[in-house]
Amino acid sequence: MEVIITQDYDAMSERGAQIVIDALRNRPDIVLGLATGSTPEGIYERLVAAHRNDGLDFSQAVTFNLDEYVGLGPDHDQSYRSFMNAKLFNHVNVDVARTHVPDGLAVDPAAHCAQYERMIRQAGGIDLQVLGIGRDGHIAFNEPGTSLGSRTHVACLTRQTVEDNARFFDDAAQVPRFAITMGIGTILEARTCLLLACGANKAPAVRAALEGPITSMTTASALQLHPDTTAIVDEAAAAELELLDYYRWQQENRLA
């Protein structure tokens, strides 16, 4: 795994956005895996700016989001569909029909999960998957204890995740308890992964994910098995990394 330490959130967003922009320019019909949460917002802002100012073209891109709350429809202001529309899709020239977010209102969620997997396969698989990380080391909504071979499934959120995400709702009681999420097995099939983390409250999760044992107790640790993952971590989130000096040394000594 390549680990890039940046000074702060803005620098993390800048590096992350550049990777996505380069990938999209190299392959206009790219299949992008997208994430929600506060962490990737800076990247989406930069993608919108690149579209407006430099003509970054999304017209042929296909997107698949990691997850969606069960029970929230696209019109709910806290649904992940509505987040993606507001932060990215409404401001670039992506074809909405090519953007996919699991359907939180699916009548048969299990069938919908299987169909989501099929759609990803039919699109040719995900080229670049953007990921944030939860304080308990989850990626997407793969909470501790989730099989590292899991596919898209309905997940029960932990109490901690519900509390963490309550800041977006009027109160914790309104946070859905379930979500449809890509599984760890699904995520590991993406050709390239980009893990983003910022802030001191993510430092233990980052340490466990990047340097801890590969375990379902920290589902992000499965990325250690992925052959092409880049983690971009700001200094606060990197503070507990044992190999911090080595990651910096590697950054200074890149092969041309």
Catalytic machinery residues: 67, 136, 138, 143
* Backbone φ, ψ for residue 69 (5° rounding): -70, 135
Nearer to ligand GLP, 28 or 73 (CB): 73
Q: Residue from 12, 17, 20, 37 that binds ligand GLP (CB under 6 A)?
A: 37
Q: Residue from 56, 140, 175, 194 that binds ligand GLP (CB under 6 A)?
A: 140
Q: Residue from 33, 104, 132, 176 that binds ligand GLP (CB under 6 A)?
A: 132
Contact 68, 35 (CB under 8 A): no
Residue 183 makes contact with ligand GLP by CB under 6 A:
no
Helices (H), the chain: 9-26, 41-54, 80-87, 109-122, 159-165, 184-188, 203-211, 235-238, 244-252
230 has which bridge partners? 2, 194
Q: Residue from 17, 61, 101, 133 that binds ligand GLP (CB under 6 A)?
A: 133
For 201, the token pair is 């409250």
Helix, strand, coil percentages in the chain from 3-state DSSP, rounded to 5? 45, 15, 40
Among positions 98-127, residues that touch ligand GLP (CB under 6 A) are none
Site string for ligand GLP, 143-172 (x = CB under 6 A): ------------------x-----------
Residue 35 makes contact with ligand GLP by CB under 6 A:
yes
By three-state DSSP, how is residue 95 classified? Answer: coil
Among positions 212-251, residues that touch ligand GLP (CB under 6 A) are none
Residues 6+ apart with CB under 8 A from 154: 70, 109, 110, 113, 178, 179, 180, 181
Nearer to ligand GLP, 16 or 37 (CB): 37
Residue 33 makes contact with ligand GLP by CB under 6 A:
no
Residue 34 makes contact with ligand GLP by CB under 6 A:
no
Residue 141 makes contact with ligand GLP by CB under 6 A:
yes
68 has which bridge partners? 180
Residues at the interface with ligand GLP (CB under 6 A): 35-39, 66-67, 132-134, 140-141, 161
